[in-house]
Amino acid sequence: ETGVTQTPRHLVMGMTNKKSLKCEQHLGHNAMYWYKQSAKKPLELMFVYNFKEQTENNSVPSRFSPECPNSSHLFLHLHTLQPEDSALYLCASSQLSVASANTGELFFGEGSRLTVL
Amino acid sequence: TQLLEQSPQFLSIQEGENLTVYCNSSSVFSSLQWYRQEPGEGPVLLVTVVTGGEVKKLKRLTFQFGDARKDSSLHITAAQPGDTGLYLCAGAGSNDYKLSFGAGTTVTVRA
């Protein structure tokens, strides 16, 4: 198994649909992240889960709903999205140091390419 | 959010040429990371620099952290087509697990 696995790799949905993105990490890390990557823009941090607890919600619209049932799995539930939400959604994991609180290395999945029609 | 500006936005060079990519900010970072992202893949960490003035070498790649820890550069010597990709810099503040990313530099190395 590769380190961080995301499914599906590609998703096309209408604005009224409900879908979910899934992420699984096999690295034993204690933190997981959702990032949004749009063309010519910096990666935008959406959510952070540290030891399964959500520690960051970066002003993300409520049409994006994260779920972290355990330290290895992370979901992003999508509903009533807008065309401007079309982007590459990247999941990442890292091992947070309790002592330093630094992120350390982020291990990314291959991303889920989302298109909202 | 601490802003990181990367330049140039796009760079296209011939195989064997050298290139430099810059990452600048008005903020001080406790550490700075460089990632490379190939088409259809997620970013992969290349290096982390933590000390002002630090220089790290990774084969043909040379990374430098500015003395004031506000900027960084990536220099590639004798570029190869395999160096093609999106290069991202990301900075971390003190006691802050949130990384701020630049928009990236798209590098294309032509054979």
- Say yes or no to pLDDT of A100 above 90: no
**What pLDDT score was predicted for residue A104?**
72
A10 touches B at CB < 8 Å: no
Integer Cα distance of B76 and B82 in angstroms? 12
Q: Which of residues 44-63 of A touch B (CB under 8 A)?
A: 45, 48, 50, 56
Nearest CA in chain A to B91: A103
- Please give the pLDDT value at position B54: 95
Mean pLDDT, rounded, for A65-79: 95
Q: Give me the pLDDT at residue B1, please.
A: 59
Q: Find the closest chain A residue to B99 by CA distance.
A: A103
Q: Average pLDDT for residues A54-69, to the nearest whole number?
A: 87
* Mean of all residue pLDDT scores within chain A: 89
- Among residues B41, B109, B72, B82, the alpha carbon closest in space to that of A37 is found at B41
* Residue B96: per-residue pLDDT: 63
- Give the pLDDT score at A82: 94
Residues 6+ apart with CB under 8 A from B30: A102, B50, B69, B92, B93, B94, B95, B96
Confidence check: pLDDT of A103 > 60: no
Annotate A45-67 with three-state secondary structure. Answer: EEEEEECCEEEEECCCCCCEEEE
Binning pLDDT at 50, 70 and 90, where does residue A40 land?
A: confident
Going by pLDDT thresholds of 50, 70 and 90, the confidence category of residue A59 is: confident
Distance (Å) of CA B12 to CA A4, A105, A108, B20: 31, 28, 26, 12
Residues of B in contact with A24 (CB under 8 A): none
Structure confidence by residue, pLDDT tens digits, B84-110: 999 999 998 766 667 889 999 999 999
Higher pLDDT, A20 or A53: A20
| Chain B residue nearest residue A97, CA to CA | B97
Q: What is the mean pLDDT of residues A90-108?
A: 78
Task: Kindly tell me if the per-residue pLDDT of A21 is higher than 70.
Answer: yes
pLDDT value of residue B93: 78
Q: Tell me the percentage of chain A whose pLDDT exceeds 70.
A: 91
Determine, for residues B97 and A43 on separate chains, whether the beta-carbon distance falls below 8 Å: no
Q: What is the distance in angstroms between the Cα of B77 and the nearest Cα belonging to chain A?
A: 25
Averaged pLDDT for residues A89-97: 89
Query: Over the stretch B9-28, which tens digit does the pLDDT of each residue have?
Result: 999 999 999 999 999 999 99
Mean of pLDDT values over B40-57: 94
What is the reported pLDDT for A28?
92
Q: B-side interface with A, Cβ within 8 Å?
A: 4, 9, 30-31, 33, 35, 40-45, 48, 88, 90, 92, 95-104
Looking at chain B, the whole-number percentage of residues with pLDDT higher than 70 is 95
